Amino acid sequence: MSNIVASTQVDALLINGQRLMQMMSDVGAIGALPSGGVRRLAFSPEDREGRQLVQRWMAATGMTVSIDAAGNMIGRYEGRFPHAPALATGSHLDTVPNAGIYDGTYGVLAGVEVARTLHDHGIRPDHPIEVIVFADEERTMIGSKAMAGKASLDANFYDHPHYEPIEMGLSFIGGDWTQLTSAQRDTDSLAAFVELHVEQGPVLEAAGNPVGLVTGIVGQRRYLITIDGSASHAGTTPMTMRQDALVAASQVVLAVNRIGTKTGDGYGEQVATVGAMKLSPNVANTIPGRVEMTLDMRDLSNQRLDAMVVELEQEMAAIATQTETQIHIKPQLRNEPVPVNSHIYNAIAQVCDTLNLPAQSLPSRASHDAQIIASITDMGMIFVPSQGGISHSETEYTTPEHCIQGANILLHTLLKLDQHYRCPEEITALRTESKV
């Protein structure tokens, strides 16, 4: 770290909370809806306008701003050792159709505010600090996936009736579909990635804790469960002679809920949901002959997910026998759990201690760019509370106090990691100095 500023001053450094909240409301005004929410769909004029505003703030902070082929905008605050791997932070500015102003945007602007604070105080960390605005987080995650070398190169994969072809979308925000693979980052160019995000769930608020130490991003399994009974007349078929697929399905729903509610090893991380159901023939006077339903299960541990499936299969076999139906379960989707890096987790915990902010460990049950970036560098995440646990809604809200506290934690986490990761150049420089 630069010796322009004494280390005690650095320890006491705080971000400019008023400026952060002003940036939040300035970006929140772009794509504002009459209902009070915001709509900045990826690749829309509003998305581009938001990015351009953030780009101006980055440039005014002495950051160099570049846009890679996947449309990721990267603001870079140079460190003392320009060839050192970057300490990166950031999130996304695109939103769902009826969003609040915090999801994603908060992580980007807190990163910009961290850079502005360092700039104000003439502090130059050893490592460059990068603030990344990932492209299209909400729908395709093309930005973070391309950066990790995991993006589909099939343009049809990104097709959606309400979006332009991906080629046009990317070029509208400064990317280039034909060069997509060039967005892949060399793992040597990044030391770590820390994402600050609103929790989007009710856990922190319910516990009264201002900070979440994210333990990992849960794995997700999705299945299609099909139950075959026998469709017959609802009046003439006696109760004892029925093979009612919906009665069996109802028991499966209860079994899923029971298995999901078990507290496992104390983390209470697992969740299990039947979210969609299709009956046939789905008429009032016919016993349901077939039910198709979804099952979504999430947990940080693959072992626990495996155990949940085994237990459910046993219960389903018993339900099938008892209801004289046939029950089949078919995997549809599998996303692996992504643990966070323990050094980064510990650094965040120590910073919370120093700042006297009670922190709570919890997993992230939603997807974030951080889980993709974890495949190319060390990753950590910080959560701040979401009022009522609400997100992806115009009523999404996080108090200014929590927003400011989160940004201060991000600032000091990055400064701590700046000391944790040693730069090859710095080691060479120290050797040279000691010889003189």
Q: Given the rule CB under 5 A, which residues bind Zn ion?
A: 103-104
Cα within 13 Å of Cα(58), Cβ side: 28
Q: Is the separation of the CB atoms in 39 and 29 below 8 Å? A: no
Alpha-carbon span 109 to 105, nearest angstrom: 6
Of the candidates 220, 38, 7, the residue with the CA atom closest to the CA atom of residue 125: 7
Please state the closest distance from residue 130 (CB atom) to Zn ion, in A.
18
Complex with Zn ion: residue 260 or 363, whichever CB lies closer: 363
Kindly tell me which of 237 and 393 has the beta carbon lying closer to Zn ion: 393
Q: How far is the CB of 103 from Zn ion (least distance, A)?
A: 4
Report, in Å, the least distance between residue 40 CB and Zn ion: 12
> C-beta of 216: minimal distance to Zn ion in Å?
17
Cα(328)–Cα(313) distance, integer angstroms: 9
In this structure, which amino acid lies at residue 406?
A: G
Separation of alpha carbons 104 and 132, rounded Å: 11
Q: Which is nearer to Zn ion, 112 or 319 (CB)?
A: 112
C-alpha–C-alpha distance, residues 251 and 257, integer Å:
10
Q: Tell me whether residue 95 or residue 270 sits nearer to Zn ion (CB atom).
A: 95
* Residue in the shown chain whose Cβ atom is closest to Zn ion: 104
> 37 with 100: CB under 8 angstroms?
yes
- Quick one: 301 or 371, whose CB is closer to Zn ion? 371
Assign 352 to helix, strand or coil: helix
CA distance 389 to 197: 13
**Nearer of residues 73 and 327 to Zn ion, judged by Cβ:** 73
Residues with Cβ within 8 Å of residue 79, at least 6 apart in sequence: 86, 124, 125, 126, 127, 128, 129, 418, 423
Nearest-approach distance from CB 396 to Zn ion, in angstroms? 11
Residue nearer to Zn ion on the CB measure, 88 or 312: 88
The pair phi, psi for residue 120, each rounded to 5°, is: -55, -40
Beta-bridge partners for 90: 132
Cβ pair 20, 109 in contact under 8 A: yes
Cβ 132 to Zn ion shortest distance, Å: 13
Q: Shortest distance, CB of residue 39 to Zn ion, whole angstroms?
A: 15
Output the CA angle 203-206-207, nearest 5 degrees: 85
Shortest CB 382 distance to Zn ion, Å:
13
Using the structure block, give the residue that is written with the tokens 């701590």.
416
CB of 41 to Zn ion, least distance (A): 14
Strands in 338-427 per DSSP E: 338-339, 359-364, 378-384
Between the alpha carbon of residue 119 and those of residues 2, 54, 291, 354, 364, the distances in Å are 12, 16, 60, 23, 32
Helix 342-354 / helix 400-420 crossing angle, nearest 10 deg: 120
Q: Which is nearer to Zn ion, 94 or 244 (CB)?
A: 94
Q: What is the DSSP letter of 93?
A: -
> Between residues 38 and 272, which has the closer beta carbon with respect to Zn ion?
38
Q: How far is the CB of 111 from Zn ion (least distance, A)?
A: 14
User: Closest CB to Zn ion among 128 and 385?
Assistant: 385
Query: How far is Cα 421 from Cα 432, in angstroms, rounded to an integer?
Result: 20
Give the shortest CB-343-to-Zn ion separation in angstroms.
24
98 or 326: whose CB is closer to Zn ion? 98
Return d(Cα 284, Cα 401) in angstroms, integer.
54
